Amino acid sequence: MQISGITALVTGAASGLGAATAAALAAEGASVIGLDLPSAVEAHAGKNRAGIRLVGADVTSEEAVLAALSTIGATDPPLRLAVNCAGIAPARRIISSKGAHELGLFEKTISINLVGTFNVLRLAAEVIARAEPDEDGQRGLIVNTASIAGYEGQIGQIAYAASKGGVIAMTLPAARDLARYGIRVNTIAPGIVDTPLLAALGEEVNASLAAGVPFPHRLARPEEYAKLVLMIAQHDYINGETIRLDGALRMAPQ
């Protein structure tokens, strides 16, 4: 799939994986609509991000995502790519000194990470399906973000692991469902990525995390996630796959 001359939708685009992906797609000539929470979009107001238009939207809201998609005008390039990066990663044991794991926190994590991903996937797919196919019958691609926690969830990751395991499980049936429309679906499962949230834990914690990665002995960079999105977009035969981006890391219980 050619990236230049298309419209791409990226969620969680104000920071981290989403920001890196939006920048990489824009650099390749895509017109990018970046979704993030209104507060995050407001914090980036006035910053020049060539080729990227940030829109405030909650990924769990059908109305908000539809409103964002409706901003693609008749003269704009067709939507052919959607990348789901929005998510949260709370840490809580099933039973702790605080008592039993809050049901509301579990539900919120599932709502944002899993339901939000599905919400954007289904609504973006409906728009992509209206585009004219290329010579190979392809109309577009959706890339979701899981985590290696979806395979090896650690102590305290019960909600996060469940949500990301759900994203992994959706990948193949979504690819099969959308094959008739020429839409591919793939998922990236990152390991430990060097994001602002992780940096806040301090250099000592980050060094310890990096030491556990077999090779390379460092944290992944958001730009490496973005490069994988570009590769998947340009490789038309990759479909229905969940690709680990983890330096061969297999998480221990804690």
Q: Where are the domains of the chain?
A: 7-245
Q: How far apart are CA 91 and CA 156, in angstroms?
A: 5
Q: Quick one: pLDDT at residue 34? A: 97
Q: Quick one: pLDDT at residue 192? A: 92
Q: What is the DSSP letter of 77?
A: P
Check if 160 is active-site. Answer: yes
Q: What is the DSSP letter of 15?
A: S
Between the alpha carbon of residue 159 and those of residues 18, 83, 90, 94, 155, the distances in Å are 22, 22, 8, 9, 11
Q: Would you state the structure tokens that stand for residue 131, as one six-digit string?
A: 């585009």
Q: Quick one: pLDDT at residue 172? A: 98
Q: How far apart are CA 116 and CA 37, in angstroms?
A: 12
For residue range 133-185, list pLDDT tens digits in order. 999 999 999 999 999 999 999 999 999 999 999 999 999 999 999 999 999 99
Low-confidence ranges of the chain (pLDDT < 50): none
pTM: 0.95
Q: Quick one: pLDDT at residue 205? A: 72
Q: Quick one: pLDDT at residue 203? A: 80
Q: Quick one: pLDDT at residue 200? A: 65
How much of the chain is in helix, strand and coil states, percent to nearest 5?
A: 40, 20, 40
Q: How far apart are CA 37 and CA 11, in angstroms?
A: 9
Between the alpha carbon of residue 90 and those of residues 15, 48, 106, the distances in Å are 18, 31, 9
7-245 fold: Rossmann fold (3.40.50)
Q: Would you state the structure tokens that stand for residue 192, as one six-digit string?
A: 């430990």
Which among 151, 160, 181, 237 is annotated as catalytic? Answer: 160
